[in-house]
Amino acid sequence: MSAQANTTGKDAGQPIAFVSAQALRARMHDAVNDPHLRTSFRGAMDFLMAKRAAQFPDADELDSLRSLSESIRQYSLSKLPDLLEQLEANLTRNGVQVHWAETPEEANAIMLGIAQRHQAKLIVKGKSMVSEEIEFNHAMETAGVGALESDMGEYIVQLAGEKPSHIIMPAIHQTKQQIAKLFAEHIPGVDYTDNVDALIQIGRRVLREKFEVADIGLSGVNFAVAETGTLCLVENEGNGRMCTTVPKVHIAITGIEKVVEKLEHVAPLFSILTRSATGQAVSTYFNMISGPRRGEDKDGPEEVHLVLLDNGRSQAYADEQLRKTLQCIRCGACMNHCPVYTRIGGHAYGTTYPGPIGKIVSPHMMGLEQTHLLPTASSLCGACGEVCPVKIPIPELLIRLRGEANSEPHAKPAMRGQGAGHSTLVSFVWRMWARVHARPGSYRAFSWLATRFRAFTPTRQGGWTAARTPLQPAPRRLRDMVKDRR
């Protein structure tokens, strides 16, 4: 780790690795039993839901804008390979270098190559969930290049040695007292203060020094416009502009699904993004970058690179239903409205992307072997689908993924890890259950036996009896009671 990156307070060799999603149940149990975590998430989610609702007073306008946004995303996906080529051609014409990566390793290698070519010691980062997805910070620090988060929330999370617990508000799980302690411990010369304005000014001071000296700025991309070769970034703090403007090199990284064809398609998506995400009519900055410093320009990076990452997205693309996953514009409204997310917070999921969108996108990135339990962490209440600005049918996709996870492994799976959750016993029980119910005679016999031997029903019925009285068949069958009435 370079001297510049010491403010992160992390040991260089220590990866911020997530535990496998196999441990999901244990983690959820712990989260649900943490009253502090539940109170803070409940409060934050109520606040965000109210703010979003206030942005859509006109139900017709919301409906029309959602339909328009959905159709723009679906249209873009229907032409995805062509649009990616058009984007590449126009970015290249604008002087932006385009790179393609199938895996996180490839993406990190490309970016490390750029860093090493420039003998970079410090990379300042604007908020990028894709960089989290590929463990960019760890990859850079392993190679001796400092990677410093500059979004206030991301900076806090990096100081704490954690991962974001929300895709829009990364440090939503931290209280101001915890942040005050972190700052006092990790930033030289800073005394404890839990005044939010003072804390932000401390962050501003520390990070401004870094913007000034950093060799490379890294950012994500909210929308990439094919027809103009433009990268659009949405932000409030100005750190995204700093990272993409001040250092000599700007590297943007994004998933291959973020492209739209027309510049005019960006306007409705931008509007519904900020209103759905944080309940803002607009973000402070909307930054449209169409190339490095050019001609008479006096500032801006001398090199701009775009890394296009697949990492499982082409797998989702290959299936008509699963392709809808890629409509996502990463607003986070689904997590703000999710009763499960509200109760367990973002870390319990064990994936880069938490909440409902995380449950449908992570299996493509990580395979169902690691993630087959994720789609079960849902009550299928439908809130996520109802608020999704691009109408992704998240509950339907969760059911589909449950099927992919638990069906018998077969030769032509739509997903990596199909059948990972399959159990021969469970599938045998359900086959028998189906057989019994499919024939009137066997059903009659089964229900007769169930009422006669009801006393033998086990009193401990797994998770059900943890908080409820045991289930027991009724003493008499419905058919017998109906017969008596006649």
Partner 1 sequence: MSARDRILAKLRGARPAEPLPRPDPAPHYAARARNESKAEALTRFRAAIEGFHADVHVTTEADWPALLARLCADKGVGTLLFGAQTPAGRRLEPATFAGTTLRPWAGQVEDIKADLFHRVDAGFTQTRGAIAETGSLILWSSADEPRTLSLVPPIHFALLDAAHIHPTFYDALVSENWAAGLPTNALLISGPSKTADIQQTLAYGAHGPKELIVLVINAEGDLQ
Residues 67-106 that bind partner 1 (CB under 8 A): 68, 71-72, 74-75, 78-82, 84-85, 94, 100-102, 106
CB of 280 to partner 1, least distance (A): 9
Applying CB under 8 A, the span of 138-146, 287-295, 398-406, 416-424 interacting with partner 1 comes to 287-295
CB of 442 to partner 1, least distance (A): 44
The smaller minimum CB distance to partner 1, of residues 38 and 262, is found at 262
Contact track, partner 1, 174-213, x by CB under 8 A = xxx--x----------------xx-xxx-xx--xx--xx-
Beta bridge partner(s), residue 148:
124
142 binds partner 1 (CB under 8 A): no
Among 261, 369, 407, 477, binds partner 1 (CB under 8 A): 261
CB of 101 to partner 1, least distance (A): 6
Q: Which of 288, 140, 132 is nearest to 221 (CA)?
A: 288
Q: Dihedral sign for Cα 360, 363, 369, 370, please.
A: negative
The per-residue DSSP string of 194-261 comes to: --HHHHHHHHHHHHHHHHHH-SEEEE--SEEETTTTEEEEEESSSHHHHHHHSSSEEEEEEEGGGEES
CA 29, 136, 127: angle at the middle one, nearest 5?
A: 80
CB of 481 to partner 1, least distance (A): 54
Q: Could you tell me the maximum CA-CA distance found in the chain, to the nearest angstrom? A: 95
150 binds partner 1 (CB under 8 A): yes
Residue 100 has which token pair? 């393609």
CA distance 22 to 15: 19
262 binds partner 1 (CB under 8 A): yes
Counting residues that bind partner 1 (by CB under 8 A) gives: 97
CA distance 351 to 373: 12
Label the pairing between strands 146-149 and 122-125. Answer: parallel
The smaller minimum CB distance to partner 1, of residues 180 and 374, is found at 180
299 binds partner 1 (CB under 8 A): yes
Cα-Cα-Cα-Cα torsion 96, 102, 103, 105, nearest 10 degrees, comes to: -50
Beta bridge partner(s), residue 309:
101, 255
Among 12, 49, 142, 300, binds partner 1 (CB under 8 A): 300
The length of the chain, given as a count of residues: 486
Position 453, amino acid:
F
293 binds partner 1 (CB under 8 A): yes
Among 134, 148, 152, 384, binds partner 1 (CB under 8 A): 152
Beta bridge partner(s), residue 252:
219, 306
Applying CB under 8 A, the span of 317-325, 332-340, 425-433, 460-468 interacting with partner 1 comes to 317-325
Position 376, amino acid:
T
The smaller minimum CB distance to partner 1, of residues 27 and 337, is found at 337
Label the pairing between strands 216-219 and 249-255. Answer: parallel
The smaller minimum CB distance to partner 1, of residues 146 and 255, is found at 255
Applying CB under 8 A, the span of 16-24, 237-245, 427-435, 469-477 interacting with partner 1 comes to 237-245
The smaller minimum CB distance to partner 1, of residues 320 and 484, is found at 320
CB of 46 to partner 1, least distance (A): 10
CB of 245 to partner 1, least distance (A): 5
Applying CB under 8 A, the span of 264-272, 346-354, 423-431, 475-483 interacting with partner 1 comes to 264-272
165 binds partner 1 (CB under 8 A): no
Applying CB under 8 A, the span of 17-25, 265-273, 344-352, 363-371 interacting with partner 1 comes to 265-273
Residue 308: enclosing H or E segment and its boundaries?
Answer: strand 303-309
CA distance 140 to 16: 13
CB of 449 to partner 1, least distance (A): 50
Residues 6+ apart with CB under 8 A from 173: 37, 40, 41, 165, 166, 345, 346, 347
Among 142, 144, 285, 446, binds partner 1 (CB under 8 A): 285
CB of 135 to partner 1, least distance (A): 18
CA distance 37 to 15: 24
CB of 199 to partner 1, least distance (A): 6
Segment 41 to 70, residues that bind partner 1, using CB under 8 A:
44, 47-48, 61, 64-65, 68
The smaller minimum CB distance to partner 1, of residues 256 and 377, is found at 256
CB of 106 to partner 1, least distance (A): 6
Segment 348 to 407, residues that bind partner 1, using CB under 8 A:
none
Contact between 273 and 286 (Cβ < 8 Å): no
Position 33, amino acid:
N
162 binds partner 1 (CB under 8 A): no
Residue 188 has which token pair? 């030289």
